[in-house]
Each structure stands twice: as structure tokens, then as C-alpha cells.
Homo-oligomer: A and B are copies of this chain.
Amino acid sequence: MPVTNVTVEAYGLTVQDEVREGDSLEALILRASDNRGMSLLSGDILVISSKVVSKSEGRVVRGEEVSVSDKAAAIAKANGFDPVHVQIALHEASEVIRDVKVLITETHSGLVCNFSGVDRSNTEEGTYVLLPSDPDASAARIRSELEKHTGAELAVIISDTQGRPWRKGSINVAIGCAGISPFKMNAGKRDLYGRELKRSTVCQVDELCALAENLMGQANERTPFVLIRGYTTTDRTGKCTEINRPREEDLVR
């Protein structure tokens, strides 16, 4: 396909009701695409908000059931944070990376982010939504169900909105994927002058999540799915845990 004909299209898929524990995301995706008059086709990529994955998996905690440790209470007091929010974030963390003004942690699945990704918006008052415990596995499960129902070869990416260490504003990034490599390898390709590119690796799943965010929005969760069509990728294997920089390469620790 000549490059001049390349187009990528993204479609928001909506839900009517809030997603609850036990809901089938596959069924919601199929219904939503049907409502738009679209069928899923081979090559389609579905970006799914982590929030609805978490809710469907029951990863929601009631604050009143949480007992706050001394450590969490101290971090909360020093920074003006909600002690329960801090406690849940610590529970989800394998390491606290910074706890002055911010609470940056590494989660048990290896993701470095704010408050272990634990969020209080778009959930019932007094409840907290955790990240899926194994987002790559969640993506693989959803992909497998969708492929079974549609016969199409699909990719699924689970996204979460996160801040950055030295740039203001959040962007949507990938925390789980199936059916697509996290990276697009440019190494081995040749530049304008025929020289081989040695180390150019683009995190394509992060870029696809960024694209999806503008259709998902953040204010409410009515568009938790985005269908991306026309994006070509050849390598269909890999997990988002590969994106996490090993400790010795991390520029913050």
C-alpha cells in the first residue's frame, strides 16, 4: 500500500450504563459496535479504558473497609492526601519511589505511576478503583473472547491516563496488550541516506492509546472503547510489561 493512501480511523464505542463487576466487556463491545453499524474486522485494534476492565473484574475497594497503616497515615499527613487513598496505593505497590508532594510507586505488575494507578473518579462515592491486577492477561482474555465471537484477528490494548515526570498534563498509555507488539522496531530500517537506524524503537501501543484518549475523554466513562482501523502492524506478540524500564535504566530512581 503506497504511503500516500495510509489513513487511520478511530471510532468511539459507547455504553449506556456504568460497567459493574461481572459484566462481559466482550458483549458490551459487540453491542456498541453493532449500534454503530460496524462489525469487527481482522486488523482492528480495540483500546479499552482500564477503568471498565477493573470494574468488570471487581477491582473496586470500599474505603470504609480499609485500615490505614502508620506509614500511609504519615505520607497522607505530610502531603495533604486522603489516607485511605494512600493506604490502597501502598497495598498495590511493590516499591515507593517518591512520596514528597507526589506518591510515585511501582505496582506489583511493574508499572511506575502515580498512586499505583488507584483512582477515585467515576466510581461510587467512598470507593476506589484499582488497576487490573494483570492487565496483559485481561487483554489476552478479552481478545480471545472477541476473536471467538467474530472470527476476526484482533488486537486489544488496555489504556490508563498517567502523568509524566517532566511534562505537564496526562496522556493515555498502554498498561496491557494482546495481539500486538508494544514496540515498532525501526532498527534495521534505512534512513534517507541509506544508513541503518541502530536504536529507534517506538512504543506503538502508547501512541495508539494516546490517539484513543481523545475519543474516550476523561469526564465520564461513556466511551470506554475505541476501535482503531487502518493501522498496520506485523508483529502480533508481546506484553506491556516489556515497556517497564528495568531499575538500572530508570532515570528517576
Binding site for B on A (CB under 8 A): 3-4, 6-12, 14, 18, 35-36, 98, 101-102, 104, 112, 121-125, 161, 164-173, 182-184, 186, 189-193, 195, 197, 200-204, 206-208, 210-211, 213-215, 217-223, 231, 242-245, 249-252
Contacts and interface: CB of A to CB of B under 8 A. Distances in A.
Stoichiometry, as copies per complex, reads 2
A170 B218 contact: no
Contacts of A98: 251
Contact of A12 (B3, B202, B210): B3
A251 B102 contact: yes
Given A125-B193, A166-B112, A169-B243, A207 B202 contact: no
A239 to B, nearest CB: 12
Given A10-B8, A124-B193, A200 B214 contact: no
Nearest to A188: B219
Contacts of A10: 7-8
A34 to B, nearest CB: 12
Contacts of A190: 219-220
Closest 8 CB pairs of A and B: A169-B203, A210-B210, A189-B219, A165-B251, A211-B211, A207-B210, A112-B166, A122-B192
Contacts of A202: 161, 169-172, 213, 218
